[in-house]
Structure formats: C-alpha cells, structure tokens
C-alpha cells in the first residue's frame, strides 16, 4: 500500500466536495468505520512489529492531514453558504414604499405627536391616567366643592357603582386634570409633565363631541412663577403654529383648581372669512391655565408652603382645527375615508422640531 498515494487521493476528494453534504460523504469514505484509512489501519495487524510501527505512524499522519483538510474545507464551504444566503436575502432599502400603502395619520394623532414633541423638547414628559375616574380625582382633589356648580357645568357622564352604591360611582373623566392629581400623589417634585388623552362630556354640536381630547400640563417645583407659565405657553404657541411670535392675551378667569386662573387667547385675523393665526387684531381662545391652587397641592400630599407650580389644559381638536383649517368638529369622528385622505398626514414621518413639525 502506498501511503502517499492514499493521502493525495483522500485530500483530493476532500477538496472536490462542493457542499457540506459532499464533504461529509468524503469524511465517511476516508475516516468512517468502513473508510479507507480505517481499513488500512486494520490491515496493519498482518505486519511485522517494526513495519507495523512505522506504517501506523504514517497512517496516523494521513488521518491527521485528512481531518485538518476536512475542517478547513468545512470552514470554506460554510462561509460560501453564508455569503450566498446574504446575497439572496439582500433587501434594497432604497426602494420606495409599496405604492398601495395609502394609510394616513388622523389629525388628532398628528396634533398629539406635535404637542408631545414641543413640550418634550422643553423637558416635559408624558403621563397617562384612566378614562374612568372616581369623583376624588376628577373633582374632589381638584378643589371642586361638593355642591359646586362646576360639577354640573361639565356635563358629566356618570357610571353606576357596583351594587348601585352611590359612594362607588365613577365618571368618565371630564378633563385630563385628574392626571395632575395622580402624578402629584405618586411623584416627588420637580414635576414637569403633560398628559394627553381622551375626555368625555355629554354634549354634541358643531363645536362639541361627547368624546374629545385634551392635553394637560403641570410643572411643580419650589420656585415656579406665573412668568414661567407665560414663557412656556408662548414658546409652545410659536412652535405649534409655526409663527415667529404669536400674540398671546391672558384673560383673568376662574377654575377651582388654579389661583390665579387665566384663559389664553391667540391673536388672529378673520378677514374675508379666512382665519390667520398670528396676525390681525382679533382674538381666539385656546386654553385655560393658572397657578395650582394651594388646596390642590394639599389634597395631593404636597406642602403648599414649600411647592408651587402652574398648570394648563388645552383641547386637541380645537388647536388642530385652528392650525389645519378644519371647520366642523364632528367630521373628526365620521370615519369618512375621503375626509381622512384630505386632512390626514403621512404616516412614516414622525413630528419633530428638528425636521419641521408637519411633514
């Protein structure tokens, strides 16, 4: 038997393997139980001791060489297989989005995203609360007295408690202000949050729907003034309406949960029936705000001698209608695809201050 011939024959078979299955067949044919090297090893028993030793060493080195060649070839084949798969699986990320994706973002979602982006850049972060609230969070903690007319003013939807017990009655939250309460109860100042979400009142006409959206703002610390409130809202309005300096008017008002309270109007023009924000000498109300009432702080477990802050509440539909010229509130919830096509927004462009709010 010529060991060198055997070796080159086996190595040739290994390098001829073109895939992992072929390589394994070559391995079995060489080193397997019935393989050529194994058979040659068995043949050694007929040799004289000296001869057997040198032939055995030679065969062992063939075995090692073949095993090493198999490992090397295996690595080559695996790499080639991976490369082939990568080529076949390649995605062309520069291809346009499939033309049939025509979905649009609802103006409410778009407006919420814009509001979150603007206040987010100022350092306020988002909190949420339940839509079904109890009397304490929706009214009591917010300094609505038991028989306060404001409770009726809000056209509240009442839900019956378990077993009809009046003391367990819940309400659909009439505003996002209960999220203020929940945040102050669970977090330590400094607090800088906004709470966007759904709100409910029993009311329906061109400017009211039973479900609508608000965003609440709350900032609490040891040194917060009405000046901070004005600066915050000015910056918001400029960014949101994309106008250099929107004229703002703070009108004294009343809310049980703030003192002093104000309603904020933005300057606009209605010439020729067209609304333009930031010019002209008309005013349009957009939100309510004020300094958090000391009773509210106390009700939420904060010491009013140590902390104070401001809060505001704004209707999302209202500011969406103003910015995007949508005339009738009820159309927001008609689920009319033509309306959505007209007023909707590109779904893949998230609102961001850096890229311009509106895609």
Task: List contacts with ligand DAH (CB under 6 A).
Answer: 175, 177, 216, 255, 258, 288-290, 311-313
Query: Minimum Å distance from CB 157 to ligand DAH?
Result: 14
Give the CA angle between residues 114, 120, 124 to the nearest 5°. 130
Do residues 114 and 355 make contact, with C-beta atoms less than 8 angstroms apart? no
Q: Which is nearer to ligand DAH, 124 or 289 (CB)?
A: 289
Residues 6 or more apart from 41 whose CB is under 8 A from it?
56, 59
Q: Which is nearer to ligand DAH, 212 or 241 (CB)?
A: 212
Q: Which is nearer to ligand DAH, 220 or 340 (CB)?
A: 220
Q: Which is nearer to ligand DAH, 70 or 291 (CB)?
A: 291
Q: Which is nearer to ligand DAH, 14 or 138 (CB)?
A: 138
Query: Minimum Å distance from CB 103 to ligand DAH?
Result: 31
Query: Minimum Å distance from CB 316 to ligand DAH?
Result: 12
Query: Minimum Å distance from CB 163 to ligand DAH?
Result: 31
Query: Minimum Å distance from CB 238 to ligand DAH?
Result: 20
Do residues 269 and 117 make contact, with C-beta atoms less than 8 angstroms apart? no
Question: Can you give 236-297 as a three-state secondary structure string?
Answer: HHHHHHCCCCCCEEEEEEEECCEEEEEEEEEEEECHHHCCEECCCCEEEEEEEEEEECHHHH
Q: Which is nearer to ligand DAH, 37 or 184 (CB)?
A: 184
Query: Minimum Å distance from CB 107 to ligand DAH?
Result: 20
Q: Which is nearer to ligand DAH, 196 or 313 (CB)?
A: 313
Neighbours of 36 (CB within 10 A): 18
Closest CA to 37 of 53, 48, 26: 26
Whole-number Å distance between alpha carbons of 36 and 32? 8
Query: Minimum Å distance from CB 261 to ligand DAH?
Result: 6
Whole-number Å distance between alpha carbons of 292 and 258? 4
Whole-number Å distance between alpha carbons of 65 and 39? 17
- The residue of the chain with the least Cβ separation from ligand DAH equals 313
Residues 6 or more apart from 192 whose CB is under 8 A from it?
122, 123, 124, 125, 218, 219
Whole-number Å distance between alpha carbons of 28 and 25? 5
Looking at residue 169, the DSSP 8-state letter turns out to be -
Query: Minimum Å distance from CB 315 to ligand DAH?
Result: 8
Q: Are strands 125-126 and 191-200 parallel, antiparallel or unpaired?
A: parallel
Query: Minimum Å distance from CB 112 to ligand DAH?
Result: 16
Specify the 3-state DSSP secondary structure of 313.
strand
Whole-number Å distance between alpha carbons of 250 and 246? 13
Q: Which is nearer to ligand DAH, 267 or 313 (CB)?
A: 313
Q: Which is nearer to ligand DAH, 197 or 288 (CB)?
A: 288
Whole-number Å distance between alpha carbons of 26 and 351? 61
Residues 6 or more apart from 275 whose CB is under 8 A from it?
268, 269, 284, 322, 325
């Amino acid at each position: 038997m010529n060991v060198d011939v055997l070796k080159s024959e086996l190595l040739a078979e290994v390098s001829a393997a073109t895939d992992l299955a072929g390589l394994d067949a070559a391995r079995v044919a060489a080193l397997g139980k019935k393989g050529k090297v194994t058979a040659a090893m068995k043949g050694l028993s007929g040799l004289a001791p000296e001869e057997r030793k040198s032939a055995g060493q030679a065969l062992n080195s063939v075995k090692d060489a073949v095993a090493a060649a198999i490992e090397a070839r295996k690595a080559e084949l695996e790499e080639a297989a991976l490369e082939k798969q990568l080529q076949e699986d390649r995605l062309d990320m520069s291809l346009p989005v499939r033309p049939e994706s025509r979905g649009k973002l609802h103006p409410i979602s778009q407006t919420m995203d814009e509001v979150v982006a603007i206040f987010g850049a100022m350092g306020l972060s988002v909190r949420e609360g339940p839509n079904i609230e109890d009397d304490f969070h929706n009214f009591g903690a917010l300094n609505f007295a038991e028989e306060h007319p404001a409770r009726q003013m809000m056209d509240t939807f009442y839900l019956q408690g378990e077993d009809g017990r009046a003391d367990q009655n819940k309400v659909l939250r009439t505003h996002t202000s209960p999220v203020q309460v929940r945040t102050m109860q669970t977090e330590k100042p400094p607090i800088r949050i906004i709470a966007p979400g759904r709100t409910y009142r029993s009311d329906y006409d061109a400017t009211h729907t039973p479900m609508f959206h608000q965003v609440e703002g709350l900032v609490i610390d040891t040194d917060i003034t009405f000046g901070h409130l004005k600066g915050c809202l000015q910056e918001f309005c400029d960014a949101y309406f994309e106008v250099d300096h929107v004229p703002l008017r703070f009108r004294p008002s009343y809310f049980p949960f703030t003192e002093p309270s104000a309603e904020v109007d933005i300057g606009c023009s209605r010439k020729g029936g067209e609304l333009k924000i930031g010019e002209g000498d008309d005013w349009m109300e957009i939100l309510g705000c004020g300094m958090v009432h000391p009773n509210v702080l106390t009700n939420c477990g904060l010491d009013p001698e140590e902390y104070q802050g401001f809060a505001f509440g704004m209707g999302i539909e209202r500011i969406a209608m103003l910015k995007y010229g949508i005339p009738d509130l009820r159309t927001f919830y008609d689920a009319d695809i033509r309306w959505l096509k007209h007023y909707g927004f590109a779904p893949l462009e998230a609102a961001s201050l850096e890229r311009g709010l509106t895609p």
